[in-house]
Amino acid sequence: MKHLILMAFAILLMSYNAQAQHFELISSPNGIGGTVNDFKVCGVESRTFQVIYDHCPNSKVNCLQGCGANPVRVNIRLYRDNTLLQTLVFQTSNDWFNQPIVVANTSPGAYKVEVTVQRRKFSCLSWETVFNQTSNIITALGNASPAFNIDGIAIPSNNSAIQVCGSNISLNAAATSCETRHYIGVQECNQWWSRTYEYEWGRWYTGQANDNINLQALSTWNSNDPLYFSGTDVSRMGDALFGGYLSSGQERYYRVSVCTGEPSWQCKVALIKVNGNCKLAPSDLQIETLDEYTTTGSSANDNNELELAIDPNNTIASSSALTTIRISPNPFNATTIISVDSYTEKAPIVFELYNLLGERVESIQSNQNQFELNRNQLAAGVYTYRATADNQLLGSGKIVIQ
């Protein structure tokens, strides 16, 4: 009889593992509802993942009997793309649980949980594992969409080129949506979009795209780096964008791209033509008019003669030819000398230095043709400069600080 009682007790202890366990992972926005299906996520959002487990789903009694008041120990590990995000450990008296896990930064990726359920042995001295499995996988799919304009001009629907001024090309891409990273690239081409493959660069950037991106500074920096420059003409590494003609004799254009890759590769592309003779911003233009000239007489009389004299000293929006600016040494570490050749006017020279974000980081005003530029607190990298005098552009280019 004693042996029969012990056998019955052993059968009772083993029966808890005889049934199929119910285990799944669901997700829901703000803990409302729930689904085991994939979902789309835009940028960064909060989402609740619900871990559902029942060791004996068809039993009305607690089948995970053990020693003590809370004989069941649960270890839940949440992963995104096989990287551990959160770990939750707790003890309970139940053989089932419905445990929420809030993820404040739910970015695109594959989510899963690994659950280990342990029962305290009846000796109360140790634990035994009764369940250890990985859940279904729920994929968060980003739905990023690129969008941008050049100098505030939308991309033409007829694929025509946007005319830009070589002194400043502004790429505005903040309208790109749902991206956690974005790609910017430039390819030299002709007016029919056919690439030359000679000058090309492209680079991925982490985070959301911005407005007021200085495309000239970006081109100078990225085309100078072998990691991003893919053109066949290595002599053009470090070049900014300029106008003129291709080696084929055709006019030079550029394809500018902003792309996203969540969940798939998508691009917006614009065609631009750079005007290299555009040296002044509209606010810099100074237009002088001649004195008004009138004569008497009837306009119906064909014999009236009108003489018009133009003073050659009067000009309309004229600008002097660009001077030669020498920087030595370049690259430099602490100090370099700026020399502005062939400048003989009395107006002081204004020398401005910009970082790759288009932000002015240094400004020097000098009455001399030669002056020093000190590094001070400037970080190592590529900078662009602009030298002017009396609102006239003297020259521009790049400086490298080591």
pLDDT in tens, the chain (402 residues): 444 333 333 333 333 444 578 898 988 886 667 788 887 777 567 888 999 999 888 877 778 888 888 999 999 999 999 999 999 999 999 889 999 999 888 877 899 999 999 999 888 889 999 999 999 998 887 778 899 999 999 999 999 999 998 878 999 999 998 888 899 999 999 999 999 999 999 999 998 899 999 998 889 888 888 899 999 999 899 888 988 899 899 999 999 999 998 778 999 999 999 986 664 444 443 333 334 434 444 444 444 444 444 444 443 333 334 567 889 888 888 899 998 887 888 889 999 988 766 678 899 988 888 899 998 888 877 788 888 888 788 888 888 887
Angstrom distance (rounded) from CA 106 to CA 109 = 8
The closest of 178, 185, 164 to 209, measured between CA atoms, is: 178
What is the C-alpha to C-alpha distance for residues 202 and 144, in angstroms, rounded to an integer? 19
The pLDDT score that the predictor gives to residue 17 is 44
Please compute Rg for the chain using Cα positions.
36
Question: How far is Cα 366 from Cα 349, in angstroms, rounded to an integer?
Answer: 5
| Sign of CA pseudo-dihedral 216, 217, 218, 224 | positive
Rounded Cα distance between 262 and 140, Å, is: 10
Q: Give CA torsion, residues 227, 229, 231, 233, to 10 deg.
A: -100
Report the candidate in 133, 113, 142 with the shortest Cα–Cα distance to residue 38.
Answer: 142
Asked whether 216 and 384 are in contact (CB, 8 A), the reply is yes
Neighbour-count burial of 241, counting CB atoms closer than 10 A to its CB (0-12 exposed, 13-18 middle, 19+ buried): buried
Determine if residue 277 is left, alpha or beta; phi over 0 gives left, psi from -120 to 50 gives alpha, anything else beta. alpha
Residue 388, SS3 per DSSP = strand
Phi and psi angles of residue 207, each rounded to the nearest 5 degrees, phi first: 95, -170
pLDDT of residue 358: 66
Query: Are β-strands 22-28 and 381-389 bridged in parallel, bridged antiparallel, or unpaired?
Result: unpaired
* E-assigned strand segments in 135-206: 138-142, 149-150, 162-165, 170-172, 181-189, 195-206
CB 38 within 8 A of CB 140: yes
Three-class SS state of 282:
helix
Give CA separation, 263 vs 27, 141, 142, 180, 181, in Å. 19, 6, 5, 11, 11
Which pLDDT value is given to residue 311? 44
C-alpha–C-alpha distance, residues 25 and 114, integer Å: 10
State the pLDDT at residue 322. 54
Q: Which pLDDT score, from 0 to 100, does residue 36 have?
A: 83
